[in-house]
Each structure stands twice: as C-alpha cells, then as structure tokens.
Amino acid sequence: MHCYLDFNASSPLRVEAQAAWMACQEQHFGNPNSTHYYGQQSRALFDDARNKIGDLLGCKGHELVLCGSGTEANALAIYAARQLGATGRILCTAIDHSSVIRNAQMHAQTELIDVDANGLINKEDLLEKLKSPCDLVAFQFANNEIGTIQAVEELVASIHERSPGTRILLDACQGAGKHPLNFRQLDVDFATVAGHKFGAPKGCGLLYTKLGTKVEALIHGGRQQQDRRSGTEDVAAIAAMHAALSASYQEYEQEAPRQQSLIDETWQTIKTALPDAVWIAQAAPRLSNTISLAHPGVKNSALIPRLDLAGYCVSPGSACMAARGEPSHVVAALGIEGALAHSVIRVSIGATTRAEQMQGFSQAYIKEVRDLL
C-alpha cells in the first residue's frame, strides 16, 4: 500500500464530505433555480451550506461565489479587478500559483514582487512597485510548495496606506481548512479557496468578494449567483465543501501541532543521517503540514520515482508543473539555483498521515539519497 504524502497537490476525500455529497445527490437533485418543491429544497441546501462556509471563513454567504476550481476563482478575481480598475497594471508575487500569474499576464501588464530566501514578500520591493498605480495586488496566504505563510495583516495595511484604491486578492487555496482564516478581518477585496485541498471533491472552489465589490462575470449564461458566475450551481459540491471545511476546522487544534511534530521529527531523523540535507524556507512561519527538502548532488527526477517504488508518494513542487517536468518557479524565486534547485521535493501531510508512515518515509529518503550520491 502506497503512502500518500502529497496533500498540497490534492487531499483524499473526507468521509464527511462524501456523506454530504451523496446525500445531496440522492435527495436534493433539483435545480436550485427551479421554483417547485425540489428546486427550493436544493436552493435551501445551497444557501445554508454557503452561509455556514461564510461563518467558518469570516464572511457572509452571499460574498462567496461557487466556482469550478481554485484556478477559476483566481481567474475571476483577476478579471473582475481589471474591469474595476483603470490602470491595466497588476502586481503579484514571484511565488504565486500559475493560475494567478498567468491570468494576471493575460489581462494586464504584470510585475512580480520579489520574495526573500524564505519566500516572504520583500516589502521594500512591494512599496517601490506601488509608487505607480495599479488595479490589483495578489499574493498567497500560504505557498503550496514551501508552505510559507505571509504576514497578511501587515502587508494589507501597507498596501492600503501606500495605495488606498488598489484592490487586494489573497490566494488562500492552501490556507482554507489548514489554518484559521477570516476574510473580513484580513480586509482583502478578494480571496480564493480550492475544495480539494481540504478534503472536498476536486472541481470546486470559492471566490470571496467583499460586499459592494462588483464582479464582472467570466462565464455568461443564466445569470446564476447574482450574475457573477453563470451555470447551474453544484449544490452537492458546496455541501461537501462545507462538510470538509467544518471537519477540518473542528480538528485543527489537535491536528496542527500533531502534523507539525511529525514534520519536525522527520526533519531531525533526516538531518542527523544526512548532514547536508536542507529544509527550504525553514525559518518562515509555515503551514504545519509542509516540508520542502533538498540535498546537494541528488536529482529529484531520480529520487521521486525511487521513493514511489519504495511506497512514498511525494512531488517535486506543484503537481501541474511536475506533470510537465518544468522546474519550480517558486524555488527559483527564493534564489536557489543549479543542482540544489533540481533536488527539491515537497512532502505535505494531512489528518490521515500516521507517525509510522513518516518514520518509514525518513528511512526511505535517507536510503535513496545515499544510493544516489
């Protein structure tokens, strides 16, 4: 049986989400826009799940737009910000997900804000770039490859002070369910969530839009969701997202320290046996489930298949980049180059990861690295 250590790529479906999804498909199959009994049953379920997700994420249900993925939510936020803005200029960070960087480049003149060796935003560079007006600043709550969590409140305050009209998009796809979030308190205009990162099915996401922010749709049709995203709402998806998010936050107090200590123990075992091993961005505030490991002289393209054969599924970085064999732009943005950059692997764990599995992984990593040196 393979051991799954790639929760930041996608997480297994939670039983709570599966139950909510099945119950909805069986009992609430009506179109939520139909005015008859079955339609209204679905509408009630949709609204209820959306409101409850709002309670968990510090916003109102109607500030949330259900989308088909985190990617779509990012694309919609960027498009909406461009329609509202007048400058045609967007700032995002050099470690943003490709769904932010590529959509920004599609719709605006885009500049990348530098980060330091731990993946933290270089505030001086941000403030310098804000000297010229821009429509949107986008950055992540937490990075998918290295887990670095940004100082969101401080960055938002600086952006508001330097450039009051500029809107802010927080990509919280790796934050929701893994760390407490309150979008209203964070004072951003847009925030995005991806369901499959916290145990909901793949193919669902959310866009938070601060009350009063007009969202020009990317997808036109039957004007569902206040004409912000047409298409019959996937009621089962939002019910499953609510179930998964609620279960994740219920166990957060126990799970975050448990996962953190599994990661710390793994690192201690590896570092003791392999003194040249590197934990990328170790010094930054970080998601408790993520460790980005590197070792000079070991190519991740050789190491990852060996770990897979040994029974451990990890990735070189984001799954979409890995599929095309592209080097990680995140690792490059940290200033890591050459052989070390090609040795990076990401290990990301979740609620179902057990201590014995991590001990087994540490031993497999040590063995395979030694064999490859």
Ligand X SMILES: Cc1ncc(COP(=O)(O)O)c(C=O)c1O
Under the binding rule (CB under 6 A), the answer on residue 194 touching ligand X is yes
Q: Which stretch binds ligand X (CB under 6 A): 75-83, 170-178, 323-331, 351-359?
A: 170-178
Distances (CA, A) of 234 to 166, 173, 216, 344: 32, 19, 20, 37
Q: Interacting stretch for ligand X, rule CB under 6 A, among 65-73, 129-137, 215-223, 281-289?
A: 65-73
CB of 282 to ligand X, least distance (A): 20
Whole-angstrom distance, CA of residue 245 vs CA of residue 248:
5
- Which residue, 65 or 298, has its beta carbon nearer to ligand X? 65
Confirm if 80 and 213 have CB atoms less than 8 A apart.
yes
Asked if 134 touches ligand X (CB under 6 A), the answer is no
Give the residue with the Cβ less far from ligand X, 85 or 195.
195
Applying the rule CB under 6 A, the residues between 136 and 155 that interact with ligand X are 140, 144
Buried b (16+ CB within 10 A) or exposed e, 22-53: eebeeebebbbeeeeeeeebbbebbbebbebb
Q: Which of 11, 41, 42, 69 binds ligand X (CB under 6 A)?
A: 69
Residue nearer to ligand X on the CB measure, 74 or 343? 74
Q: Judged by CB, which is closer to ligand X: 144, or 246?
A: 144
State the nearest-atom distance from the C-beta of 10 to ligand X, in Å.
Answer: 7
Between 177 and 295, CB nearer to ligand X? 177
What is the C-alpha separation between 254 and 299, in angstroms, rounded? 36
Distance from C-alpha of 360 to C-alpha of 352, rounded to nearest angstrom? 15
Closest CA to 255 of 3, 7, 4, 1: 7
- The correct pick among 42, 110, 174, 348 for binding ligand X (CB under 6 A) is 174
Question: How distant, in Å, are the alpha carbons of 8, 102, 177, 339 from that of 196?
Answer: 9, 21, 10, 32
- Cβ at position 373, least distance to ligand X in Å: 31
Is the Cα torsion angle 43, 47, 53, 56 positive or negative in sign? negative
CB of 72 to ligand X, least distance (A): 7
Closer to ligand X by Cβ: residue 71 or 246: 71
300 binds ligand X (CB under 6 A): no
- Residue of 166, 318, 328, 353 interacting with ligand X (CB under 6 A): 318
Per-position x/- string for 198-237, each x denoting binding to ligand X as judged by CB under 6 A, each - no binding:
-------x--------------------------------
**Under a CB-based contact definition with an 8 Å cutoff, are residues 98 and 110 in contact?**
no
Write down the least CB distance from residue 286 to ligand X, Å.
14
Q: Does 166 bind ligand X (CB under 6 A)?
A: no
Q: Is 97 in the site for ligand X (CB under 6 A)?
A: yes
Contact region for ligand X (CB under 6 A) — 102-110, 166-174, 268-276, 295-303?
Answer: 166-174
Amino acid at 113: I
Residue whose CB is nearest to ligand X in the complex, by number: 70
The nearer residue to ligand X, 193 or 277, going by C-beta atoms, is 193
The Cα–Cα gap between 326 and 213 comes to: 36
Which residues contribute to the site for ligand X (CB under 6 A)? 69-71, 74, 97, 99, 140, 144, 171, 173-174, 194, 205, 318
